[in-house]
Amino acid sequence: MSWGRHIAPGQDNRKLPEVQVVISPLHPTRNSPCLAVLQALEDGLKRADADPSVKAVTICGENGKFSAGADIRGFSSPNKQGLGLGPIVSLIERSEKPVVAAIEGIALGGGLEVTLGCHYRIAHVQARMGLPEVTIGLLPGAEGTQRLPRLIGVPAALDIITTGRHISASEALKLGLVDEVVEENTVEAAIRLANRLIGQPLGHRRLSLKPVPKLPNMEAFLTEALVKVKKRAQGCLAPELCFQAIKAATEQPFADGVRKERELFNILLTSGQAKALQYAFFAERAVEKWTTPSGASWKTASPQPIRKAAVIGLGTMGRGIVTSLVKAKIPVVALEQDLEYLNTGRKAVMLLLEREAMKMEQGGQTLDFNNPARLQFAVDFDVLRDVDLVIEAVFENMALKKEIFNKLSRICKPEAFLCTNTSALNIDEIASVTSRPQQVIGTHFFSPAHVMRLLEIIYGRHTSPTTIATAMQLAKVMKKVGVVVGNCFGFVGNRMMFPYVQQAVFLLEEGSRPEDVDQVLEDFGFKIGPFRMSDLAGLDVGWRSRKDQGLTGPTLAPGTSARQRHGYRYSPLPDLLCEKGRFGQKTGKGWYQYEKAGGRTAKPDPWIHSFLSEYRDTHQIKTRFIDQEEILERCLFTLINEGFDILAEGIASGPEHLDVVYINGYGWPKHRGGPMFYASTVGLPNILAKLQKYSEIHPDVPQLRPSAFLKKLVAMGNPPLNDWMSYLHRQSNKL
């Protein structure tokens, strides 16, 4: 931080003296001396106040960035930061000399709270503002929950604080969060304004002295708002506590509201949820720095530019992928096998794009998709000659994919990248039919592809670092989180999902009902339990895959035991449902019943209950009561156990990768940090002990047998998650 006299350029000859206070940089370094920044700000203000030659103050950031707020790592250090900013904001507000904030770049969190203490705020047209504390499990604890509603009213403050969303300068101006938006030099504009304000009364600009603007029916508004906040939060504490703090602003004087804010902030700060959310923040950034076991890395690989892309197949996935590419402003050719499929696909894509355009318009943005240079539909592979990258998104069938890749290899220009959207198939086998396996890569999108943030990026044996870097860059441009993983059946996400779903089905065999299992996992925080998920995705998808694997259907060897495959436990329950045409929502019946085919409201189905009971009788399974703890442990611990195997095999380069996959692709509750982070909070010895217990009871379920890597970590003394990977190749004499 620096401070000094500042004479605004282009001023009149009176040359009014003032102070420019420069505050914290955009990216606080790891151990950013935040307290030092605060101290310097306080000292600067006090000196400005004491110096009679100083008539006004402007506060701005360094290098064209106002502030990204506190260094998030500081919240988990013993000397927790953030608590000291409130009094400084008050100090700014109390200043008898006008204080103007010059907001450039970003003003987030504590940074924005500083501006709320200022008497005026000027923002650059490209600046973004927000109070994202809720996203890291906190609330704006420097009196922000008390000042913002006084400035812009309760509904807008509630929206900004409970969602943590960033807003543009133009929206900030509309809301009254800033007084002026400028296109030129913001600091100079702020200095000019500060000079004009010298000697003018400031009382009405001190937000702590203002009442919260009234609403015709504040109580009813708040009641309704709380329901919405809780629904969105799905077990996450921070949004509700943000709400409570804002409610306090509507009911209590400023000082009491600040006390309440502090009390709520401390609850959040010491909650495990804040720690988990802050871990998730850094995990998402850590996975950008990908590496592979062969030594390829983000540091040395450079992405190639993608000027034009193609998508093959306009089914559900292809439509979403095309929409994402158009939104990312990448010209795209959408290809289908014949005109009939093309027309159906085109209509669906246009509908998606129209909806997206409408959403974007609300945020003041436009989406240009009616331009053939941006989006072209075709049935002829010849149009793919000049594209830089193709994403194949056809049916999950190896023979079909190989046929397409062979064709692509012959038609596309030699430097084009060939991506396959698959959720499980072998990338090497697909690449083997091309003459450029180094440019073949898996890009596993999640449905709906234009909404879901995860992109699993799967490298094969021959995939080049440039290809990985290009796919990662594509993910970034599409505003997705790319996670680089190795090639194995189901990759990371589905491979971990398999034992989870398998346990859920075994629990039904033993005595649970679908709604019991779903409830436990939804109470844990999953957006949707495994059976509701299966009904949504369609039971026929897994059925087809099991038929392909010879686990069921006509290729199954005669005399195979109904509940065993290859000597291990198998449940035919999902197959039996499919044989009865119960594919889930699409047929109106699955694990639940629906109001009609395509219906969305799942209702427990008495038919399923009696079907399960008959099934247990047939197979002489004694129905038993299964408690919530067992449901949770068997489903989650087998998923986590698979995660340890994945790490040990080098399929993912760290636990953060698995966590980012699960948070962004599988509805894992972010406030629990992802499955591997959750495992670290439960304690690896506890997980191991439970797996051992369940494995003894169910010796024919290999997924319950503790992973060797998990055992090793326990033997090594349950090290912190950050250190796990360093134990992978260390010898343990305790094993």
For 136-149, letters b (16+ CB in 10 Å) and e give bbbbbbbbbbbbbb
What is the token pair recorded at 465?
A: 């670092």
Is 23 a binder of ligand L434P2JQ (CB under 6 A)? yes
Residue written as tokens 């929409």? Answer: 323
What is the token pair recorded at 169?
A: 């300068």
Could you say which of 133, 171, 284, 356 is catalytic?
133
Near ligand L434P2JQ by CB under 6 A: residue from 70, 148, 190, 310: 70
DSSP string, 534-551: HHHH-HHHHHHHHHHTTS
Is 100 a binder of ligand L434P2JQ (CB under 6 A)? no
If one counts every other C-beta atom within 10 angstroms of the C-beta of residue 480, the result is: 22
- Please list the residues that pair with 25 across neighbouring strands: none
Near ligand L434P2JQ by CB under 6 A: residue from 100, 101, 108, 452: 108
Is 105 a binder of ligand L434P2JQ (CB under 6 A)? no
Smallest gap from residue 250 Cβ to ligand L434P2JQ (A): 22
Q: Is residue 408 within 8 Å of residue 436, measured between CB atoms?
A: no
Near ligand L434P2JQ by CB under 6 A: residue from 57, 72, 158, 394: 72
**Contacting range for ligand L434P2JQ; rule: CB under 6 A; set: 19-27, 181-189, 644-652, 724-732:** 19-27
Smallest gap from residue 66 Cβ to ligand L434P2JQ (A): 8
Near ligand L434P2JQ by CB under 6 A: residue from 3, 6, 20, 24: 24
- Binding marks (x or -) toward ligand L434P2JQ, 245..284, rule CB under 6 A? -------------------------------------x--
The yes-or-no answer on residue 96 being catalytic is no
Q: Could you give the CA distance from residue 418 to residue 43 in angstroms, rounded to a whole number?
A: 58
20: helix, strand or coil:
strand
- Please list the residues that pair with 311 across neighbouring strands: 334, 391
What is the token pair recorded at 23?
A: 């505050």
Q: Dihedrals φ, ψ of 463, to 5°?
A: -60, 130
End-to-end CA distance of the chain: 54
Near ligand L434P2JQ by CB under 6 A: residue from 22, 55, 102, 109: 109
Near ligand L434P2JQ by CB under 6 A: residue from 44, 82, 460, 542: 82
* Closest to ligand L434P2JQ by CB, 142 or 691: 142
* Closest to ligand L434P2JQ by CB, 58 or 439: 58
**Contacting range for ligand L434P2JQ; rule: CB under 6 A; set: 22-30, 179-187, 202-210, 235-243:** 22-30
Q: Give how many residues touch ligand L434P2JQ by CB under 6 A.
A: 30
Near ligand L434P2JQ by CB under 6 A: residue from 85, 312, 474, 484: 85
If one counts every other C-beta atom within 10 angstroms of the C-beta of residue 598, the result is: 10
- Binding marks (x or -) toward ligand L434P2JQ, 628..657, rule CB under 6 A? ------------------------------
Q: Could you give the CA distance from residue 271 to residue 719 in angstroms, rounded to a whole number?
A: 21
For 208-226, letters b (16+ CB in 10 Å) and e give beeebbeeeeeeeebeebb
DSSP string, 352-402: HHHHHHHHHHHTT-----S-TTTEEEES-GGGGTT-SEEEE---S-HHHHH
* Closest to ligand L434P2JQ by CB, 115 or 487: 115
Rounded (5°) CA angle 262-265-268: 155
- Please list the residues that pair with 459 across neighbouring strands: 441
Give the CB-side neighbour count of residue 290, counting CA atoms within 13 A: 31
What is the token pair recorded at 512?
A: 């649970």
Near ligand L434P2JQ by CB under 6 A: residue from 285, 461, 580, 624: 285
Near ligand L434P2JQ by CB under 6 A: residue from 3, 28, 212, 577: 28
Is 106 a binder of ligand L434P2JQ (CB under 6 A)? yes
Near ligand L434P2JQ by CB under 6 A: residue from 8, 19, 22, 37: 37
Smallest gap from residue 111 Cβ to ligand L434P2JQ (A): 5
Strands 309-312 and 99-103: unpaired
* Closest to ligand L434P2JQ by CB, 129 or 158: 129
The 3-state secondary structure of 437-462 reads HHHEEEEEECCCCCCCCEEEEEECCC
Near ligand L434P2JQ by CB under 6 A: residue from 44, 48, 100, 110: 110
The yes-or-no answer on residue 403 being catalytic is no
Number of residues assigned to the chain: 735
**Contacting range for ligand L434P2JQ; rule: CB under 6 A; set: 7-15, 23-31, 381-389, 472-480:** 23-31
- Please list the residues that pair with 521 across neighbouring strands: none
Helical H runs in 412-538? 427-431, 465-477, 493-510, 514-524, 530-537
Phi-psi region at 200: left, alpha or beta (left = phi > 0; alpha = psi -120 to 50): beta
**Contacting range for ligand L434P2JQ; rule: CB under 6 A; set: 27-35, 302-310, 460-468, 602-610:** 27-35
Kindly calculate the radius of gyration of the chain based on its CA atoms and give it in whole angstroms: 29
Residue written as tokens 């095999």? Answer: 649
Is 590 a binder of ligand L434P2JQ (CB under 6 A)? no
What is the token pair recorded at 229?
A: 């906040």
- Binding marks (x or -) toward ligand L434P2JQ, 111..140, rule CB under 6 A? x--x-----------------xx--x----
Is 73 a binder of ligand L434P2JQ (CB under 6 A)? yes
Smallest gap from residue 134 Cβ to ligand L434P2JQ (A): 9
- Binding marks (x or -) toward ligand L434P2JQ, 50..69, rule CB under 6 A? -----------------xxx
Could you say which of 113, 143, 522, 630 is catalytic?
113
Residues annotated as catalytic are: 113, 133
Chain positions contacting ligand L434P2JQ, by CB under 6 A: 23-24, 27-28, 34, 37-38, 41, 67-73, 81-82, 85, 106, 108-111, 114, 132-133, 136, 142, 282, 285
